[in-house]
Amino acid sequence: MSQVELIMPELGNEITEAQVDLWHKSVGDSVAEGEEILTITTPKVTMDLEAPATGTLTKILVEEDDIAAIGAVLAIIDR
């Protein structure tokens, strides 16, 4: 078993942070690689982030409405 991190992606050269809007999954849920599990927003865009691996969502590190920097770890998936 290994752990995979869900990272806040690069969103353009002027964007330094984004807001976690809505988790579509809870801790303990199974997720499939490519499945949209989280909605994030910047002032300009709303987008869904996909699970980077198939497994179980074991940790949510940034709660809804909180802001995370680009590159921050948002969640951990065990596979």
Partner 1 sequence: MPKSIHIDPSETRTRGVLDAASIQIHAYDRSISDEQSVRGDAELIEAYRHMLLLRAFESGIASLKATGSFGDLTYAYKGPAHLSIGQEAAAVGAAMALAPGDHIYGSHRSHSEFLAKGFSAIRRLGDNELTSIMEGHASGQLLRSVETHLSGATPTEMAENFLLLGFLAEIFMRANGFNGGMGGSMHAFFPPFGAYPNNAIVGASAGIATGAALWMKSEKRDSIAVSMLGDGSTGCGPVWEAMNFAGMAQFDHLWDTKGGLPVLFFFTNNFYAMGGQTNGETMAWDRLARIGSGFRADAFHAETVDGTNPLAVADAVSRQRAHLLEGRGPAILDIECYRFSGHSTTDVNAYRTKDEIAAWQAVDPIQSYRTSLIDAGLIEDAAAVEMERQTDALIQAVFRAAADPDVSPIVNIAQDPTLIGRKMFTHGSTPPAHAPSSPLIEPAKVVRIRQNAKKSRSGFDNDGALLSPLKAITLRDGLFEATLHHMLTDPRILIYGEECREWGGAFGVYRGLSELFPNDRVFNSPISEAAIVATAIGAAMEGARPVIELMYADFIGRAGDEIFNQLAKWQAMSDQSLSIPVVLRCSVGSKYGAQHSQDWSGLAAHIPGLKVVYPATPFDAKGLLSASIACDDPVVFFESQRLYDRVEQFQSAVPPEDYHIDIGIPDIKRIGSDVTILTIGPSLYPALEAAELLAAKRIEAEVIDARTLVPFDYDKIIKSLEKTGLLLIVSEACERGSFAMTLASNLTRFAFSVLNAAPHVLGSPNWIVPGADMEDTYFPQPADIVDTVMIDLINDQKHTQIGVRKWNDISLAKEGL
Which of these segments, 30-38, 44-52, 53-61, 71-79, binds partner 1 (CB under 8 A)?
A: 44-52
Query: Smallest gap, in angstroms, from Cβ of residue 44 to partner 1?
Result: 4
Span from 4-12, 14-22, 30-38, 70-78 in contact with partner 1 (CB under 8 A): 14-22
State which of residues 10, 26, 28, 44 lies at the interface with partner 1 (CB under 8 A). 44
Q: Can you spell out the DSSP letters for 11-71?
A: --TT--EEEEEEESS-TT-EE-TT-EEEEEE-SS-EEEEEPSSSEEEEEE-S-TT-EEETT
